[in-house]
Amino acid sequence: GAGVSQTPSNKVTEKGKYVELRCDPISGHTALYWYRQSLGQGPEFLIYFQGTGAADDSGLPNDRFFAVRPEGSVSTLKIQRTERGDSAVYLCASSPTGVSNEKLFFGSGTQLSVL
């Protein structure tokens, strides 16, 4: 596609439920990133994929959060036993190769609301 696509755009769930958020990066981009943006804050790094592997998952807040990218393209962020504090906009971004001076192409995000 022309840009990074994220689905759903909005997700409302109840505390304790499991959610999956999907990211479809720009075709051919090997690097994929997940960020979380809480109200009034800048995006916070969660995880970085280079191809199929998670090259840096140091930003995942705890073991309820997990992400996969099995074929090196689409990625899914999975959150188990959701908590109200997980409510935020989850942003996905991709870049061609992942070198540190490359710009990131962001999606529009998934607004997650945990009731």
Minimum Å gap between C-beta 21 and other proteins is 15
Q: What Rg do the C-alpha atoms of the chain give, in angstroms?
A: 13
Minimum Å gap between C-beta 36 and other proteins is 11
DSSP characters over 63-109: TTEEEE-TTSS-EEEEE-S--GGG-EEEEEEEESS--TTSPPEE---
In angstroms, the CA 47 to CA 38 distance is 16
Taking CB under 8 A as the rule, which mask of x and - marks residues 73-92 in contact with other proteins? ------------------x-
For the record, the structure tokens of 108 come out as 């529009």
* Residue closer to other proteins (CB basis): 5 or 17: 5
The only residue of 26, 29, 43, 79 in contact with other proteins, by rule CB under 8 A: 43
By the criterion CB under 8 A, which residues form the site for other proteins?
Answer: 3-4, 31, 33, 35, 40-45, 48, 55-56, 58-59, 91, 93, 95, 98-104, 106-109
